[in-house]
Chains A and B, each alone.
Chain A
Amino acid sequence: MYAVELESVSLRYDEVVALRDITFKSEAGKMVALIGPNGAGKTSILKMLAGLLRPSSGEVRVLGRDPARARGLITYTPQREDVYWEYPLTVRELVAMGNIRRRGLFKWLNTRDSRVDTALRLVMLEDLASRKISELSGGQQQRAFLARAICQSGEVYLLDEPIAGLDAPSESMLLEILKALRDQGKTIVMATHDISATLEIFDYVALIRNELVAFGPPKEVLTSENLVNTYGGSTVALHLDDLEKVAGWK
C-alpha cells in the first residue's frame, strides 16, 4: 500500500486544464517535494490529496483509500498568506486546533492536552506558547502551523509552500523537524519553489508544470534538462551576471 498515490490524474477548472495525466506514488515514511513555477498545479495536487478537490479523471488515493475517507489521517497546512494572522489566538490555542475533533460540543479548545505540549516542544515554540500568533516571525508562524498538524497526529502531512519567504536558519529548522517526522514514519508532501533545499533531504521530487516533467529521487530528477522543461529556458539560464546586467540597466 502506498501513502500517496496519483494515477493518471487530470484536473480542470472549467476551461482551464490545471493538471494533465499525473502519475506518481510514494511509500509511507518518505518526503516528497512538489516543485514547479507559479500556476504549475502544486496547490491543486495538495488539495486533491486532502480531499478538498476531486480529480476530473484518474484516481487519487491516500493510504490506499479515497482521501475523503482518510480525513483523520491527513493534515493540511495552507499557504501562510491564506490565513488571517491578526486573529486573536495564542500559539497554544492555534496548536490545540489540531485536536479539535477529540473534543465535545460546548467545550473550548483543549489547550491542556499533552499532545499540545509535545507538539510545541518538537517545533521549539514552548517559550512562545502564550504569544499572540500575530506577534510571531514568519518562520515561527510556520512552525506553529506545523505544531498544529503534529497535534492532530495524522500520518500524511500536506504542506503548501511552508518555506516560502523564510530566512535560511528558519528554513533549515523547519526542514529538520520534517525530517524527524519522516523518521517516525510520517509521510510528508510539500510544495516548494526552492530546489536546493530538496536536494539532500527529500526522497522524491515531482517536477510539475501542469504535467509531470519527472518524478524520482532528487539526484536523478534534478537535471538541467528537466529544470528547463519545468521552469522554461529563460528562467534557469538567468545567471547571476545576467541579474546584475538587469539591475544595472535601470
Chain B
Amino acid sequence: MFELLAEPMGYEFMRVALLTSVIVAVTCSVLSSFVVLRGWSLLGDAVSHSVLPGIAIALALNIPYLVGALLAGVGSSALIGLVESRARIRNDTAIGVVMTGAFATGLILLSWMRPAMDVFHVLFGNPLGVSPSDMLLSAAIGSLVVFTVALLLKEIVAYTFDPIFSKVIGVPTTILHYTLMILLSLAIVSALNTVGIILVITLLVTPGATAQIVSRNIAQMLGMSILIGAVSAVTGLYLSYYLSISSGGAIAGVATLIFFGVLLVKSLSQWLKRDKD
C-alpha cells in the first residue's frame, strides 16, 4: 500500500502536480461554499468559460494571460448583470447568452491565432505539465483567496445570506460582490492547468454542495468543503497515474462520487431514523 502511494512521488512532475492540484482544489473549495449558498453555480460556470477569450486576447496583445483571464472573468459577471437588467430577462438566460458567446469568441480567436498554448489543455487541464512557477502562482492565488475570505467572512456570509439587509445595514455590498467575482476569476485561473476551464466548475460547486448536506454551520461547511476538495485532488491524481486517465476528469469524478456517496449515506440514515420512529 505504502509503495503504491510512494511510487508516483518519485517523480518531480508528480510531486508538483499533486501539490498544485491540492492547492487549487482547496482554493476553489473555499469559494464553493458561497457559490452554492448564493446560487451562483451557473454564474461560476459562465465566469470560467469567459476566461477563454480573455486568455486569447491576452496572447494576441502579448500581455500576461493572467491579466486577460481576470478582466474577462470579472467583465463577464458585470456584463451578465447588465444584460439581465437591460434586456429584462431572467438571470439564467443572461448567463446562457453571455457564457456561450464568450466561449465561442475564445475558440474563434484561439483557432485563428494558433498559439503555442494547447487549447485542449486549457479546456481540460494537464496537471502533469504544471511547472514549478505555475505552482507558485497557484499558491499565491490560494493564499490571497483564503486571506480575503478570512478577512471578510462575516460580511460575505451576511451578503450571501441576505443581500438586501446587508446593504441597508451598511455592508459595502457592491464592493463585496465584485471582490467575490475577482476571487472566483482568480481561482479559475489557478485551476487552468490542473482541471481546466470546463471542469473547474466541479471544484467550485461540488465540494460546497457535499458539505452543505452534512453541515450545521458555516465553519463546518467551509472545513468539510476544503477537506472534500483536497481528498478529491489527491485521489483523482493517483487514479489518473495508475489508470492512465485524464487527471482533470479523475479529480472531478472523485468529487462527484463523494457527493453521491454522502447523499446516499444521509438518505439511508434518515430512512433508518424514520423507521425507528
Residues of A within 8 A of B (CB): 14, 50-52, 71-72, 74-78, 82-84, 86-90, 93-94, 97-98, 100-101, 103, 105-109, 132, 148, 152
Q: How far is the CA of A108 from the CA of B170 in the complex (A)?
A: 17
Among B153, B160, B168, B169, the residue within 8 A (CB) of A108 is B153
Central interface residue in A74, A86, A93, by most chain B CB within 10 Å: A93
Residues of B within 8 A of A (CB): 37-39, 88, 150-155, 157-158, 160-162, 164-171, 212, 215-218, 220-221
Structural contact, A76 and B217, CB atoms closer than 8 A: no
Q: How far is the CA of A76 from the CA of B88 in the complex (A)?
A: 26
List residues of chain B with CB within 8 A of the CB of A106: 150-151
Q: How far is the CA of A82 from the CA of B150 in the complex (A)?
A: 26
Structural contact, B161 and A100, CB atoms closer than 8 A: no
Structural contact, A88 and B215, CB atoms closer than 8 A: yes
List residues of chain B with CB within 8 A of the CB of A90: 216-217
List residues of chain B with CB within 8 A of the CB of A100: 154-155, 158, 166, 169, 171
Q: A88-B218, A88-B221, A89-B161 are in contact. Are A71 and B168 (CB under 8 A)?
A: yes
Q: How far is the CA of A77 from the CA of B162 in the complex (A)?
A: 10
Q: How far is the CA of A233 from the CA of B76 in the complex (A)?
A: 49
Q: A52-B167, A88-B215 are in contact. Are A103 and B154 (CB under 8 A)?
A: yes
List residues of chain B with CB within 8 A of the CB of A88: 37, 212, 215-218, 220-221
The chain B residue with its CB closest to the CB of A160 is B164
Q: A87-B37, A88-B217, A152-B169 are in contact. Are A82 and B154 (CB under 8 A)?
A: no
List residues of chain A with CB within 8 A of the CB of B154: 97, 100, 103, 107-109
The chain A residue with its CB closest to the CB of B162 is A83
Structural contact, B151 and A52, CB atoms closer than 8 A: no
List residues of chain A with CB within 8 A of the CB of B217: 88-90, 93, 132
The chain B residue with its CB closest to the CB of A71 is B170
Among A52, A89, A108, the residue within 8 A (CB) of B164 is A52
Q: A84-B37, A100-B154 are in contact. Are A76 and B218 (CB under 8 A)?
A: no
List residues of chain B with CB within 8 A of the CB of A50: 164, 168
Q: How far is the CA of A158 from the CA of B187 in the complex (A)?
A: 38
Q: How far is the CB of A86 from chain B (nearest CB, A)?
A: 7
Q: How far is the CB of A132 from chain B (nearest CB, A)?
A: 6
Q: How far is the CB of A52 from chain B (nearest CB, A)?
A: 6
Structural contact, A77 and B170, CB atoms closer than 8 A: no
Q: How far is the CA of A86 from the CA of B218 in the complex (A)?
A: 11
Q: How far is the CA of A71 from the CA of B169 in the complex (A)?
A: 6
- 16 sampled A-B residue pairs with Cβ under 8 A: A14-B88, A52-B167, A71-B169, A78-B162, A78-B164, A78-B165, A86-B212, A89-B161, A90-B217, A97-B161, A100-B158, A100-B166, A101-B170, A105-B152, A106-B150, A148-B165
Q: How far is the CA of A84 from the CA of B157 in the complex (A)?
A: 12
Q: How far is the CA of A94 from the CA of B164 in the complex (A)?
A: 14
Q: How far is the CB of A135 from chain B (nearest CB, A)?
A: 10
Q: How far is the CA of A82 from the CA of B167 in the complex (A)?
A: 14
Question: 4 closest pairs, A vs B, by CB?
Answer: A76-B168, A71-B170, A50-B168, A88-B215
Q: How far is the CA of A15 from the CA of B212 in the complex (A)?
A: 41
The chain A residue with its CB closest to the CB of B160 is A87
Structural contact, B164 and A75, CB atoms closer than 8 A: no
Q: A84-B37, A88-B216 are in contact. Are A105 and B151 (CB under 8 A)?
A: yes
Q: How far is the CA of A105 from the CA of B171 in the complex (A)?
A: 12
List residues of chain B with CB within 8 A of the CB of A83: 161-162
Q: How far is the CB of A244 from chain B (nearest CB, A)?
A: 39
Q: How far is the CA of A81 from the CA of B126 in the complex (A)?
A: 44
Q: How far is the CA of A86 from the CA of B39 in the complex (A)?
A: 12
The chain B residue with its CB closest to the CB of A47 is B164
Q: How far is the CA of A109 from the CA of B219 in the complex (A)?
A: 12
List residues of chain B with CB within 8 A of the CB of A51: 168
Structural contact, B170 and A72, CB atoms closer than 8 A: yes
If A93-B218, A100-B166 are given as contacts, then 19 extra A-B residue pairs at C-beta distance below 8 Å, sorted by A number, are A50-B164, A51-B168, A52-B168, A76-B168, A76-B169, A82-B162, A87-B161, A88-B216, A89-B217, A97-B158, A97-B161, A97-B162, A100-B155, A103-B154, A105-B151, A105-B152, A107-B154, A132-B216, A132-B217
